[in-house]
Chains A and B, each alone.
Chain A
């Protein structure tokens, strides 16, 4: 059983504070969803926790299994078990998906240990079959000229191969048609289980029809202002974010 504890986190880009006292605990096996209008700091939160150099954590703490990760480089955090599914994944021309994932898997091995190619491909193809991804896919360059759906599928495949402890999924539903959304959601649901904690970041309730969360949080102005179960997402869908705004004003 693993946990990630985010404690009173404050994040700034340059001088501007974006995340203002965010706290949340996610345990293995749990799926949390964070909802909120654009500009409330959802993506900033995910990138800051993943260790993006442009985002400064000004105060607060992030503990992975009780140990602070804030002094770690982005790649150390990744190897410790954090995965970020990007809203806009980068293109890496000339590097095939198979080779990219292979390098990432290799990076997790002890020094001097070589990844065995046959076993690697066997596992890669198993995961691809599971996620219903065509095998030709892996010889394409990472995200290079991909459609929105292909990019997200590439993220899901990487996640399946790297088997993180915690996955932060940043607007995974953006830019997807309903079929692509279903494929991506199926992928996440397949991986869902006692060894994985998930934080879904989404603007719309739509994704939560397919990946049903255990907990839903509403983020507003850099912090969580309301938490509940999946019914909160439906309520939010029905009443709109203005409802939260009004409630906040009333407090």
Chain B
């Protein structure tokens, strides 16, 4: 399904020379030397796929699945008839499709390698949060570097493993839904992910189990030319509840990097899944992610998605509202700075009576940054009692920034309701002067204005994420004045 029927034939923003010249961005460099035990080399071929599958000691059906996906990927055109032509600049032959440290997942903070601790330190994560982080499932490049929250939740019968382990150890649970919410050929990048995926989380929450603390994963890209293709599948059985959080802080590299994940969620009858993302990608990353969930009867799926950084992000989290009274929600924040394009939105596919969906998207465009909202809301004629609410607000900081909204709302029948609101506002010179007159620097003033703009959404993030979000915005705004 195409996110929008609008055709976007516009050229990429003219900011490619060096929009951030003269600004010291070294504060965003988080790269450390890492020894990679396994490496699939660069380029994509059947051999690459076979190599990945053999390293992971996968069952024949998975190799079959990967090879089939590779064929689809190669046969599908780039979606440049509606998306930006910048996609054509991805050189698939220069990308490294698999890396692993060959490490077993770690259990305690003491066992976490020093270089990973060093990266957390560099991120400025406070002491108490680091302790908290010791209990997270973190993906370090292709494989999870450590996990111990697993022990805790496994007492409730929760399965929390990486994709390799999930498919190998629990095929009876995961095989049924794997690749079903997002079929391999859904789009070119979901096909790519299906061919070369590694890492990511597979989670199963048994009926009625409410997982008390959020399950966390930190994804980072930490090797030049290394594309990361994590695969996540979360199944909440009847009446179960789970919150999953992922955060990304990428190091900065001079050549393009590709991140292309697939995340599938299944909320069975009465289940609730909340999936929270805070991402801060380096300026050269293509972040092309497919995220979708299926909500069965009276189930609820909520995506909270925050995208900062990257060269190009294309991401439209979706919910297929399959059962009566199912509820879907997308809360999204996108920040596009110089040389960045955030092409984000939401998809709400109503497929049962009395289903409701809510989309609130806020975008911030700074300098030459560009934000695009693409949304799709589909309510067919035969349904009744369906409701959708869509709000898109854009904030522009300086006259060069650009924002586009392509909402495609198809509501048929007279027994359904939808409402749509969109606004564009500017941080004007008077507001910045007002704040400067109180003693804030221009950067601090911008940062405060932006944080104010997203405040009502940021409050929905867990505490430690909203703190990190504020810090990321501060970092972005400091670099944007001059």
Contact = CB atoms under 8 A, between A and B. Distances in A.
Interface stretch (B241-249, B290-298, B430-438): B430-438
Nearest to A75: B436
Interface stretch (A3-11, A47-55, A62-70): A47-55
Given A79-B439, A104-B440, A74 B452 contact: no
A104 B445 CA distance: 10
A162 interface: yes
Interface in A48-95: 50-54, 73-75, 77-79, 83-84, 86, 89-95
Nearest to A78: B439
Contacts of B253: none
A95 B438 contact: no
B391 interface: no
Contacts of B452: 92-95, 141
Interface centre among A74, A79, A91, A93 (most CB of B within 10 A): A74
A103 interface: yes
A89 B429 CA distance: 12
Contacts of A92: 431, 434-435, 448-449, 452
B444 interface: yes
Interface in B405-441: 428-431, 433-441
A245 to B, nearest CB: 32
A90 B428 CA distance: 10
B446 to A, nearest CB: 12
Contacts of B453: 93-94
A234 to B, nearest CB: 32
Nearest to A47: B433
B48 interface: no
A129 to B, nearest CB: 22
B106 to A, nearest CB: 33
Interface in B293-312: none
Contact of A73 (B429, B435, B436, B454): B436
B444 A107 contact: yes
Contact of A89 (B434, B436, B456): B434
A78 B454 CA distance: 27
Contacts of A94: 451-456
Instruction: Assign chain A's interface to a size class.
Output: 20 to 34
Contacts of A54: 429
Interface residues of B, number: 24
Given A95-B448, A95-B452, A100-B448, A90 B439 contact: no
A131 B255 CA distance: 58
A75 B455 contact: no
B444 A103 contact: yes
B433 A103 contact: no
A87 B79 CA distance: 52
B171 to A, nearest CB: 48
A108 interface: yes
B455 A95 contact: yes
A73 B432 CA distance: 12
Nearest to A74: B436
A107 B440 CA distance: 6
B438 A104 contact: yes
A158 interface: yes
Interface string B440-471: 11101100110111111000000000000000
Interface of B: 428-431, 433-442, 444-445, 448-449, 451-456
Given A74-B437, A94-B453, A104-B439, 10 more contacts: A53-B433, A73-B436, A77-B437, A79-B439, A92-B448, A95-B451, A95-B455, A100-B438, A100-B448, A103-B438
25 contacts: A51-B436, A51-B437, A53-B429, A54-B429, A73-B441, A75-B440, A75-B441, A78-B437, A83-B437, A86-B434, A90-B428, A90-B434, A92-B434, A93-B453, A94-B454, A94-B456, A95-B451, A103-B438, A103-B440, A103-B444, A104-B440, A107-B439, A107-B441, A107-B444, A162-B438
Which 7 A-B residue pairings sit nearest by Cβ, starting from the closest? Answer: A94-B452, A94-B455, A95-B452, A90-B434, A104-B438, A74-B436, A78-B439
